[in-house]
Amino acid sequence: MIEVEELTVRFGGVTPLDGTTLTFEAGTCGLIGPNGAGKTTFFNVLSGFVRPVGGSVRAFGENLLAMPHYRRARWGVRRTFQTEQAIEELSIAENVALVHEHSRRNGRRSRRTDVLEALEFVGLEVTPTTRVGTLGSRDRRLVELARAVVGNPRLVLLDEPAAGLPDEETDHIGQVIRRIPERTGALVILADHDMNLVSGCCATTAVLDFGALIAIGPTDRVLRDEHVVRAYLGTDPGTQVVEV
């Protein structure tokens, strides 16, 4: 369970998170909102890239913000980025192993097995010694997902993990994401603009708009909520939280 209270981030005059309070219980949870709503900033806070000016985050009872970011990796925070971060010159297996090295299961004996299992889990059908630089966009996204699930993750943050892919490939990514909680026990947060992907993967969804939480609840109801629809159309001042 992730419990976020009064989380506030400021960059000069911009307040991308403004006293945000929300709880994600378990499974795969959606995080949606218009461009600039604060989704990536929220992930940056959880993964330690951005320090908030106020608020708290408890992850499975532990104070996440008190951990330096390198300890969060060992604790089990994983994330993917809107633009992929895999290292082009390294092989698929080396890229995944790099994350494993910083994980709780950091042992040489288990590393090879864990890396191969992660690659199989995401359905990557390319030889693990292939250089990432030679891969197409679908396979690069799958490498990112393998990096997110290897080595006992507890909190997996997926930032538009299928951006730019055609529908059929997005469906495959969705199938992988749906199975992450069952395979790893991790809580998954999926930030995305693709409502088909979000509704296919997430039982619960939260909606941010200009740093404020405007709705949280069962995904199908949230997506039909009039405040949410208006926020996406850009006509809602969006100050009231709707528990739907």
Ligand X SMILES: Nc1ncnc2c1ncn2[C@@H]1O[C@H](COP(=O)(O)OP(=O)(O)OP(=O)(O)O)[C@@H](O)[C@H]1O
Total number of residues that touch ligand X (CB under 6 A):
12
| Min dist. Cβ of residue 41 to Mg ion (A) | 8
From candidates 40, 95, 152, 219, binder to Mg ion by CB under 5 A: 40
Q: Are residues 95 and 67 in contact, defined by beta-carbon separation less than 8 angstroms?
A: no
| Side chain identity, residue 169 | E
The length of the chain is 244
In this structure, what token pair is assigned to residue 222?
A: 């949230």
Q: Per-residue x/- marks for ligand X, 161-190, CB under 6 A? A: ------------------------------
Q: Which residues pair with 189 in a beta bridge?
A: 29, 157
14 binds, among Mg ion, ligand X, none (CB under 5 to 8 A by kind): ligand X
- In terms of CB distance, is 39 or 141 closer to Mg ion? 39
The answer to whether the beta carbons of residues 161 and 40 sit under 8 Å apart is no
How far, rounded to the nearest angstrom, does the alpha carbon of residue 1 sit from its chain's CA centroid?
Answer: 14
User: Segment near Mg ion (CB under 5 A), from 16-24, 36-44, 119-127, 232-240?
Assistant: 36-44
φ, ψ (nearest 5 deg) of residue 161: -70, -10
Kindly state whether residue 40 participates in binding ligand X, applying the rule CB under 6 A: yes
List interacting residues with ligand X (CB under 6 A): 11, 14, 16, 33, 35-41, 82
